[in-house]
Amino acid sequence: MLSNLLVTKQKVVLIIDELNRERIALKFIDSLLHEQGQEAGTIKTLPIGNLRHVSSYEALLNECGNNNNNNNQTGDAADFKAVPVTVAGVTTKAEYNVILPTLADLLCYQTPAYIFSFINRLRQSEHVRRVFLWASPQHLQHHHAQYILAGCEYLAELILRLETETLLSLISRKPGGGVSNKRYSCQVTKTEFQVTPLDGPATTGSPKQPSPESEQTAEPASSTFKIELDEDEVVARNALTLPYERTSEPAEGSIIYTPDADDDFDDEDPDEDLCI
Amino acid sequence: MATSVLLACGLNEQKLPGFVHISEESNVDGSFLISCILGQRLRISNAGTLLVCLQHHYQHYFNAGMRLGYNTNIFQGKTLNVIDVLSDMASEGLACKWLRTPDGLSLTEQLVEDIRAQVESNYANRNSYTILIDNLSILFNLGASKLQVQQFCQDLASLAKERDNLTVITKLSNSDIYQPTDNNVAKLGQLRIQVVRLKSGVFREVDGKLLIERVLDEGSYACEEARKEVLYKVNDRNVKVFTPGEVGVKV
């Protein structure tokens, strides 16, 4: 199920939809959360009618914080029916899943700078467990839509791209710095979203540099040249000394001097008076 | 006169979906749909209609109605109300409220205010109420931004959600440059009608094609949609529709 891949420890989840499913964005994310047993009380949304006012964004942040504090107090008061549950004197945090309106709707009412800042604040809030943002490139009408989308991808830790009806890709950034890019085939019905990993180079983990050896052996199937060497050829190649190597063979440097009969060798140092 | 085209679009019923959007491609004219819908709504007894004239003024719709077999003047002030932005501009010039933006309201906000006022005063007396807006792209010409138009449509969609039996019908000429705006407006409703030109060129017996997309059910992960394609020909006094392949050279 897709929810197994998306509802993880990663905090900021960006869904890029190429299929024009924006009208069901909220339902889509809500269903993912419910599949993973997230209760309705932990899901927070921003109604589209309130997007005009900055205060409603602040209210959402405050609401998460306040509810959390209130819940902690009720937990301390040993109200065991309330969330969070107190287990052995340790109160678990009530953390929220925040489903943001679609990026197109957010951009309709707020500036990109404010949206980025708001997502960042949600990311840093300890009361927020996950933030979901839906972006459909076909619906983005901002002049710099591509840059804004790239900015959202930069902020996100998990990027789901719904490429076609049967194909999706998932980029996951782990806290340790590892990045994985996997592709899945998918089967979508009205109530189910099944995914199957696709085999192939795209399913490997972080992109690795190919080794020089593997580069050497890589030969295009259509090539008419024989590039590979067999063992005898390798030995013969190594034994061969090329002409430029012969000329540049290192020789010991020496000065051969044959003194004449008249040469007068003075044993004294001629520079003695210089006191060097 | 226009029953067949309304039947093909699913707009011949008394109760219409809450929000209907007509997308008009560059080089085709879908205004005939507004006239057809207007005639159909006026024929239903005690059904209120608000016509917001942006592309054509009221007189155009009166003339078109006469050709299609109905007289809008009979209904005006009773079941038909009109916000005629173009005529206001022509008669009042720069003093017109649509250009003056009184009270710091933008053009689109002013329009929403007026539409809300009309709905408040008329909706209660009617069995159903339809708001027809032709054409949103004129708002761009009058200085509204894409975002303002989107906000305007969202306000209208919320108006339709607040009340049963209230339908908002919008039309937008996307001119091949307003496609994202078009998509954003279309997602607010359940029914989208795209008026597109023929790919094969110009044909004497067909003016263009209607692509009708209706969302039947919104599932959690996918929508159940019904899609239909019909060809249309706007004649002097009626609109004919054909199924693709029906029209051709007959030997």
Question: Which of A173-187, B93-107, B214-228 shows the lowest per-residue confidence on average (mean pLDDT)?
Answer: B93-107
Summarize pLDDT for B178-210 with one digit per residue, the tens: 889 999 999 999 999 999 998 888 888 888 999
Summarize pLDDT for A170-215 with one digit per residue, the tens: 999 887 788 889 999 988 888 888 888 886 554 444 444 444 444 4
More confident residue, B106 or A205: B106
The alpha-carbon gap from A60 to the nearest alpha carbon of chain B, in Å, equals 21
Q: How far is CA A128 from CA A37, A64, A220, B115, in A?
A: 17, 7, 51, 40
Say if residue B213 is exposed, middle or buried (CB neighbours under 10 Å; 0-12, 13-18, 19+).
middle
**SS3 assignment, position B44:** coil
A85 within some domain: no
- As for how many domains chain B has, the answer is 1
Kindly state whether B221 is in contact with chain A, defined as any CB-CB distance less than 8 angstroms: yes
How high is the pLDDT of residue A202? 45
pLDDT band at B250 (very low <50, low <70, confident <90, very high): low
A37 within some domain: yes
Which chain B residues touch A48 with a CB distance below 8 Å?
Answer: 154, 158
- As for how many domains chain A has, the answer is 1
pLDDT band at A74 (very low <50, low <70, confident <90, very high): very low
Are A137 and A16 in contact, with CB atoms under 8 Å apart? yes
Which chain A residues touch B220 with a CB distance below 8 Å?
Answer: 24, 27-28, 30-31, 190-191
Q: Which helix (H) or strand (E) holds B148?
A: helix B146-162
pLDDT band at A247 (very low <50, low <70, confident <90, very high): low
Question: Average pLDDT in the A93-119 region?
Answer: 88
Q: Decide if pLDDT at A222 tops 60.
A: no
Q: Check residue B66 and report its DSSP letter.
A: H
First to last CA, chain B: 29
Q: Check residue B221 and report its DSSP letter.
A: S
Domain extent at residue A172: 2-66+93-198
Are B77 and B49 in contact, with CB atoms under 8 Å apart? no
B205 residue type, one letter: E
Kindly state whether A22 is in contact with chain B, defined as any CB-CB distance less than 8 angstroms: yes
Residue by residue, what is the 3-state secondary structure of chain A?
CHHHHHCCCCCEEEEEECCCCHHHHHHHHHHHHHHCCCCHHHEEECCHHHCCCHHHHHHHHHHHHHHHHHHHHHHHCCCCCCCCCEECCEECCCCEEEECCCHHHHHHHCCHHHHHHHHHHHHHCCCEEEEEEEECHHHCCCCCHHHHHHHHHHHCCEEEEEEECCEEEEEEECCCCCEEEEEEEEEECCCCEEEEECCCHHHCCCCCCCCHHHHHHCCCCCCCCCCCCCHHHHHHHHHCCCHHHHHCCCCCCCCCCCCCCCCCCCCCCCCHHHCC
Neighbours of A46 (CB within 10 A): 18
How high is the pLDDT of residue A209? 46
Q: Which helix (H) or strand (E) holds B84?
A: strand B80-84
More confident residue, B61 or A231: B61
Burial B138-147 (b: 16+ CB within 10 A, else e): bbbeeebebb
Domain extent at residue B189: 2-242
Highest averaged pLDDT of the listed ranges A257-266, B66-75, B96-105: B66-75
Which chain A residues touch B150 with a CB distance below 8 Å?
Answer: 108, 141
Residue by residue, what is the 3-state secondary structure of B95-116?
HCHHHHCHHHCCHHHHHHHHHH
Rounded CA separation B183/A138 (Å): 7
Q: Which helix (H) or strand (E) holds B83?
A: strand B80-84
How high is the pLDDT of residue A2? 86
Kindly state whether A134 is in contact with chain B, defined as any CB-CB distance less than 8 angstroms: no
ipTM above 0.90, yes or no: no
Q: What are phi and psi of A64, to 5 degrees?
A: -60, -45
CATH code at position B226: 3.40.50.300
Question: Average pLDDT in the B103-126 region?
Answer: 89
How high is the pLDDT of residue A85? 37
How high is the pLDDT of residue A250? 61
How high is the pLDDT of residue A214? 45
In terms of CA atoms, which chain B residue is nearest residue A191? Answer: B220
Beta bridge partners, B66, equal none
CB contact under 8 A, B219 and A191: yes
Rounded CA separation A97/A173 (Å): 19
A143 within some domain: yes
Which chain B residues touch A107 with a CB distance below 8 Å?
Answer: 147
CATH code at position A24: 3.40.50.300
pLDDT band at A226 (very low <50, low <70, confident <90, very high): confident
The C-alpha R_g of chain B, in whole angstroms, comes to: 18
Beta bridge partners, A87, equal A90
B251 within some domain: no
A276 within some domain: no
Rounded CA separation A221/A219 (Å): 6
A150 within some domain: yes
Nearest to B222 among A52, A105, A188 (CB): A188
Nearest to A117 by CA among A106, A104, A127: A106
Rounded CA separation A30/B150 (Å): 25
Question: Average pLDDT in the A2-15 region?
Answer: 88
B247 within some domain: no
The alpha-carbon gap from A53 to the nearest alpha carbon of chain B, in Å, equals 13
B249 within some domain: no
Are A196 and A167 in contact, with CB atoms under 8 Å apart? no
How high is the pLDDT of residue A200? 56
How high is the pLDDT of residue A208? 43
CB contact under 8 A, B179 and A193: no
CB contact under 8 A, A21 and B222: yes
In terms of CA atoms, which chain A residue is nearest residue B180? Answer: A139
Kindly state whether B216 is in contact with chain A, defined as any CB-CB distance less than 8 angstroms: no
Q: Decide if pLDDT at A80 tops 80.
A: no
Mean pLDDT of chain B: 89
CB contact under 8 A, A189 and B222: yes
Rounded CA separation A24/B14 (Å): 27
Task: Confirm whether pTM is higher than 0.80.
Answer: no
